[in-house]
């Protein structure tokens, strides 16, 4: 027999926890002696080890109580039960991660100030989807549409998507501190913009320019709502990068 103190030392479970397990009928002592002193036998120790194992793989105390009542103690069955639960949790976490990732990236690229604006911007009804599909069919060949459909999407945890996000943050910061569009710093931003665009369009500069022109002049073709000030800034910087009298060319 083990006193509650001895069981605490053997199991590395506090006396307070063992008393709580008794109170909720999870682990009752095998004997209570004079003065209310609790004593536990080897079967109690085995049950406690079982409880600790179930806790370690993620079952809560209510679930453990139910398992003990039902005498479901096949280790493999328990692991399968827990695996199913973990997979469901991972699926929910994956969905939450994508929403949060999308919100962060939209904050970086767009004209958003509040969370509700961002999450509203993430929603797209079927009518909007249909209009986007029609606009793409009207303005692009089937080959161009296939390329545009495979472009990186905000919310994806991909290096190129995060590079776009960081680039837009850097552009906004340059605007805030008054960096001129033809400065060396702005030309570097323009170079990053151009290189990322080519990478995104798999080197097809013609389709990239066409898609950008349609996006800017003819309405929604499914592209993100870029911050207008940042777009105006980078368009001027890109012009200087390729054609102008920027510091790079002096």
| Number of C-beta neighbours around residue 44 at 10 A | 21
Q: What is the pLDDT of residue 199?
A: 94
- The per-residue pLDDT for range 88-143, each reduced to its tens digit, is 889 989 888 888 887 887 777 766 667 776 666 666 667 778 888 899 999 999 99
Q: What is the pLDDT of residue 72?
A: 57
DSSP H or E stretch at residue 224: none
**Which letter does DSSP use for residue 27 in this model?**
S
**Which letter does DSSP use for residue 240 in this model?**
H
Q: What is the pLDDT of residue 79?
A: 75
Q: Which of 194, 193, 155 is nearest to 174 (CA)?
A: 193
**Which letter does DSSP use for residue 2 in this model?**
E
First to last CA, the chain: 90
Residues 6+ apart with CB under 8 A from 175: 229, 230, 233
DSSP H or E stretch at residue 43: helix 42-56
Which parts of the chain have pLDDT scores under 70?
71-75, 110-113, 117-125, 245-250
Q: At what angle do helices 75-109 and 115-122 cross, to 10 degrees?
A: 110
Taken as a whole, the chain contains a residue count of 250
Residues 6+ apart with CB under 8 A from 219: 135
Beta-bridge partner residues of 32: 38
């Amino acid at each position: 027999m083990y006193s509650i103190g001895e069981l605490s030392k053997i199991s590395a479970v506090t006396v307070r926890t063992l008393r709580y397990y008794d109170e909720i009928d999870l682990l009752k002592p095998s004997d209570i002696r004079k003065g209310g002193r609790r004593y536990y036998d080897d079967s109690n120790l085995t049950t406690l080890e079982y409880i600790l194992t179930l806790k370690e793989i993620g079952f809560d105390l209510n679930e453990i109580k139910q398992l003990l009542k039902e005498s479901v103690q096949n280790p493999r069955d328990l692991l399968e039960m827990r695996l199913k639960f973990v997979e469901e949790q991972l699926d929910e976490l994956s969905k939450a991660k994508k929403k949060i990732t999308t919100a962060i990236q939209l904050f970086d690229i767009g004209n958003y100030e509040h969370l509700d604006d961002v999450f509203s911007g993430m929603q797209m009804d079927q009518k909007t989807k249909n209009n986007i599909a029609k606009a793409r069919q009207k303005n692009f060949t089937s080959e161009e549409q296939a390329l545009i459909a495979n472009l990186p999407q905000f919310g994806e945890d991909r290096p190129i998507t995060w590079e776009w996000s960081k680039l837009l943050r850097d552009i906004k910061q340059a605007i805030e501190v008054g960096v001129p569009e033809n400065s060396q710093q702005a030309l570097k931003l323009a170079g990053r913009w151009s290189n990322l665009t080519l990478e995104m369009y798999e080197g097809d500069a013609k389709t990239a320019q066409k898609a950008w022109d349609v996006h800017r002049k003819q309405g929604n073709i499914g592209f993100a709502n870029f911050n207008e000030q940042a777009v105006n800034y980078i368009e001027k910087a890109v012009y200087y990068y390729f054609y102008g009298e920027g510091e790079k060319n002096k």
